[in-house]
Amino acid sequence: MKRRLVLMLTMAGALILCGALVNYLLNPYGVWRTTLIDPVFRKPKDEHVALPYAIRGAELSTLLVGTSRVVFGMRIDGLAANGFVNGGIRAASLSESCATVDAALANPHLKRIVWGLDFFQFATSWDPANPEFDRRLDGGAGPIVGDTLLSLAALDNGIGDLKRMLRGRARLPTSARAAVPWPPEVICGEYAAELGRGLVRTPPAAIVRQISNNMPNYQNYRFSESFWALFHATIERAQRRGVDVILFVPPMNAYELEVIRRAGDWDQFEGWKRRLVTIGPVIDLSGYNRLAYLDDYYTDVMHHKTPIGESILRRLLGMQMPACYGIGENLSAAMVRLDSRDIDGAIAVQDRMMREASSVDSRYGQLAEAALLDQRARVKARQQASVIP
């Protein structure tokens, strides 16, 4: 019996040590100094785990912040490349984004923040708390050991990285091999490969499902003064630290704009933009501009395609956008620089475009209305039986 017990404990200890050693060697989140796998092959599955470690890295110079529109729209597979760190988080709450910025401000290498702002992040209801993420940002040995050494998720991630390395650099996507900000020829190649895919090919019933299930619920939107104060204070801290902050509102498809308008939130949407310019100039790509109707620019009702986001980043950094497929021309035509001096004029133009759009019965409006009805029915059913997840 004693022999069996000793064997059990020895084998368990050896297996755990082996797992930790493999995690250390594969180093999927770049926490340790091991370089068995080139960072270009890294692809963390959960940014909540990997991001806190990426923003502490010495290579951080520019931080991209935002929600999934930044995660997918300016995709950096390994989170960090050429001084850029994609600090976007899927469905990020504003407090998560602000905590990310605060943690990055502690990194002396940080020079610039590019922040993609989303209207829904400022809603009182949009506050998924994530104490684990906060603990990781705070640092400490506990989360690091748990996340990177004693973790099956890290092992799974590391094995994925190893497989990518064995397949070779040539099998990586072009954007992963290219320097950030991505060169125009890379963006054009990516766009060509994506042409005719995504939202443009999505059937109406699936669009209704996407709006109803995946889009934040804009009904009963209430602007949060406390989130605004948090955002304002975070920007001030960044500016005091001498970091250049570039704010932008990503493009929104006409489906999302119709949902906002039909949910009765248009005035609040414009009021939010008015608030933003009190902090500083904002590059605005949202509104009923030509981008709203270019379905081929979107993977789904919420997200623009990666080459579009990559082009936007180039423009935000003062670089030339790609000329292929009219990307540069379309983005330039839609892009508006909002600032406190001419905000009234800019809002008046956006209002006019909204009224023109609402005067016609479009498929955008029809499907948005169907999705809103579906959302209301679902909310009602959930209220009746809150046990349903």
Partner 1 sequence: MITMVLGGLWHGANWTFVVWGTLHGLGLSLNHARRKAVWKVPDAAAWATTFVFTTIAWVFFRASTFRQAAFLLRGMAGLAGSAALAHHYSIGAHDLTRIAIALAIVLFCPNRQAIMNYDWRNDYLYAAAFAILMAAATMTMANPPPFIYFQF
The contact set with partner 1 (CB under 8 A) reads 3-4, 7-8, 10-12, 14-16, 19, 132, 143, 146-147, 150-153, 155, 209, 213, 374, 377-378, 380-381, 384-388
Q: Are 348 and 275 a contacting pair, CB within 8 Å?
A: no
Is 17 or 233 the residue whose CB approaches partner 1 more closely?
A: 17
| Closest CB 46 distance from partner 1, rounded Å | 10
Is 170 or 388 the residue whose CB approaches partner 1 more closely?
A: 388
Q: Is the peptide bond before 181 cis (omega within 30 degrees of 0)?
A: yes
State the burial class of residue 47 (Cβ atoms within 10 Å of its Cβ: 0-12, 13-18, 19+). Answer: buried
| Closest CB 50 distance from partner 1, rounded Å | 13
In angstroms, the CA 247 to CA 239 distance is 12
Is 142 or 271 the residue whose CB approaches partner 1 more closely?
A: 142
DSSP symbol at 32: S
Is 146 or 198 the residue whose CB approaches partner 1 more closely?
A: 146
| Closest CB 243 distance from partner 1, rounded Å | 32
Q: What is the CA radius of gyration of the chain?
A: 23
Write out the DSSP string of 105-123: HTSTT--EEEEE--GGGGB
* Residue 166 CB neighbour total at 10 angstroms: 10
| Closest CB 63 distance from partner 1, rounded Å | 25
Helix (H) or strand (E) holding 85, with range, is: strand 84-88
Is 12 or 317 the residue whose CB approaches partner 1 more closely?
A: 12
| Closest CB 94 distance from partner 1, rounded Å | 24
| Closest CB 134 distance from partner 1, rounded Å | 15
Is 144 or 349 the residue whose CB approaches partner 1 more closely?
A: 144
State the burial class of residue 163 (Cβ atoms within 10 Å of its Cβ: 0-12, 13-18, 19+). Answer: exposed
DSSP symbol at 148: I
